[in-house]
Structure 1
């Protein structure tokens, strides 16, 4: 069995001072960096995903500092960067083709936002037949509001991880990725 790490949208706009700061992005990025180090040391493939939004989108706008990939997971020479414009990293990109060309069975996912792009990418990967592993402490989510009620980012994150763990992914903390 071969595996690949897919790092979804760990970009500057999700950190303090960015256009859409999440809850706990620094810790999530640090854990993602540890997972990345493990994959690099093992010689396993790493694919970075970078979201690029058009001007006026409010965040992750192409050409702004906010789209830059965070230092904790900065791509190394030779590592693939897949650029996308939708939450699902498989939609209108060559991510699936790249993974299939590498004969990947298992896709390990880290990234931002748990409630949007991580969720969409994990579900799509499972639907495409990949064995998905989600690293929850290497992901972060925003606080959201519904029906006049604020939902804390930690609760948003927990709800999405719990749902993904039921049918779409094996949920494994960063410390257990070897």
Structure 2
């Protein structure tokens, strides 16, 4: 039974200062996955980033730290709070999954090259069968250390390439939904 792991789909990710992004339909695809998992009665885990940096939109208690209403967890869905990019670090997520015998993860959310990549790397290293849903993740434009700006889609594709094979399998929404069959 695959667990749907939704990463950092918080209100602050929708604010203009979040910068230029790719996959403008990612939230709709995540909502589609969430609905399918709920209808199938399969486990869903919502990951929430709570920043330790004062003034961050993700500072606890701030509106930006709240889940986006359309993707908010139900009372029976597990919520993991994290303070770093990786959802496994100091969160109890690994223990929660093992206690339930859950070994397959379907990962979606934001940012592809940040929390999604960090979490998928850890999941793969911990032995979980991990799939990252490429069209249900997104990221933002990035400037490299040379000062060269890279488009969000390029950053997204490179992050997925970093994961493919060694840490995770990269799938699209259709392939992720087929796992419920």
Q: Is TM-score (shorter-chain normalized) higher than 0.5?
A: yes
How many residue pairs match? The answer is 176
8 Å CA contact 1:135–1:174 kept in 2: the answer is yes
Which has the higher mean CA deviation after the structures are superposed, 65-74 or 44-53?
A: 65-74
1:83-122 equivalences in 2 (<5 Å): 83-122=81-120
Give the root-mean-square deviation of aligned CA atoms: 1.5
CA drift of 1:56 comes to 2.1
Which has the higher mean CA deviation after the structures are superposed, 51-60 or 145-154?
A: 51-60
Q: Deviations over 1:50-92 (max 9, x none)?
A: 0001352533121211111112311112111111101000000
> Which residue of the partner structure matches residue 11 of structure 2?
12
Q: Deviations over 1:98-124 (max 9, x none)?
A: 111121121110010101100000000
CA drift of 1:24 comes to 3.8
Q: Specify every segment of 5 or more residues in structure 2 that has no aligned partner in the other structure, as ranges.
A: none
Matched residue of 1:41: which SS?
A: helix
* 1:66 pairs with one of 64, 67, 70: 64
Q: Structure 1: which 4+ aligned runs deviate by more than 6 Å?
A: none
Matched residue of 1:104: which SS?
A: coil
2-side partners of 1:106 and 1:142: how far apart? 27
The two structures have a TM-score, normalised by structure 1, of 0.93
Closer/same/farther in 2, CA of residues 58 and 165 from structure 1, 3 Å limit: same
> Which residue of the partner structure matches residue 154 of structure 2?
155
CA drift of 1:22 comes to 5.2
> Which residue of the partner structure matches residue 167 of structure 2?
168
Q: Specify every segment of 5 or more residues in structure 1 that has no aligned partner in the other structure, as ranges.
A: none
Closer/same/farther in 2, CA of residues 65 and 25 from structure 1, 3 Å limit: farther
Matched residue of 2:135: which SS?
A: strand
1-side partners of 2:63 and 2:22: how far apart? 20
Which has the higher mean CA deviation after the structures are superposed, 160-169 or 146-155?
A: 160-169
* 2:44 pairs with one of 40, 43, 46: 46
